[in-house]
Amino acid sequence: MRNALSIDVEDYFQVSAFADHIQRADWSALPCRVEPNVERILALLAQRQTHATFFTLGWIAERYPALVRRIADAGHEIASHGYAHLRASEQTPEQFLDDVNRSKQLLEQLTGQAVLGYRAPSFSIGADNLWALDSLQAAGYRYSSSIYPIHHDHYGMPDGARFAWRPRGAHGVLELPVSTVRMLGRNWPAGGGGYFRLLPYAASRWALRRINSADRQAGIFYFHPWELDPGQPRQRGIALKTRFRHYLNLHRMEGRIARLLHDFSWDRIDRIFLGNA
């Protein structure tokens, strides 16, 4: 069974956990490392002849247009991560629509291809702002991967569906949640991010195999370019919890991704989920 591999293309200083520590106005003055990190990911994917979906930040695309074209030319899907890495839950409907429109138009101009998918920064669409899916539909998106059906201190909609669904009705945007496993009466994260770095690799392999075999569903996995970069500038003065989450096992991430590519079959989100949608 093919699983869906996705990469959220943002740099280390743009993560939501650093929002109170690194001012948005200072982004342009910081050393940007996204380009070589994405190139490493492209090399890993090329070695396994694997294609993926790259949820790309408009801010990055505007500054590195050649990188976006390189991703698209390699056969990967370009999708939107918004323009300014603003949480959907912290925007008005008007601000959100402007952000997702701006990102979509920019990415389409750069690649000459339709942008069909969107992922909200920090999975910031949930029960309180499902209107955001209506805005995505109005902007021309066909799917979202923005609702994470887990308990988390920063995001999550625990009672959301674990697999593809349409929260706004039969004709609404298709929502494709990052993978979870159901155990002990709750959903547990199984689709990447910090959990992939925290837990032994065998735990993620077991979870994805369970989703494929027991649930008979394709998994959806994600990671960030900065997670393969142990040499990134270290931030001072951040909370211990934030430091632990961000920097844990960065030096092991590239090897784990290589194992993941070897152990499972992967493809772009649009090819797996939009064929009959």
Tell me the pLDDT tens digit for each residue of 1-18. 999 999 999 999 999 989
The answer to whether residue 277 scores a pLDDT higher than 60 is no
- pLDDT tens figures, 197-227: 999 999 999 999 999 999 999 999 999 999 9
For 232-253, b where at least 16 C-beta lie within 10 A, e where not — what string? Answer: beebeebeeeeeebbbeebeeb
- pLDDT tens figures, 60-118: 999 999 999 999 999 999 999 999 999 999 999 999 999 999 999 999 999 999 999 99
Q: Tell me the domain boundaries of the chain.
A: 2-273
The answer to whether residue 276 scores a pLDDT higher than 60 is no
Beta partners for 206?
A: none
In degrees, rounded to 5, the angle at the alpha carbon of residue 93 between the alpha carbons of residues 92 and 99 is 90
Contact assessment for residue 167 and residue 143, using Cβ atoms and an 8 Å cutoff: no
Quick one: pLDDT at residue 155? 74
Give the CATH fold of the 2-273 domain: TIM Barrel (3.20.20)
Least Cα distance to 220 among 166, 161, 276 occurs for 161
Residue 151 pLDDT class (50, 70, 90 cuts): confident
Neighbours of 181 (CB within 10 A): 20
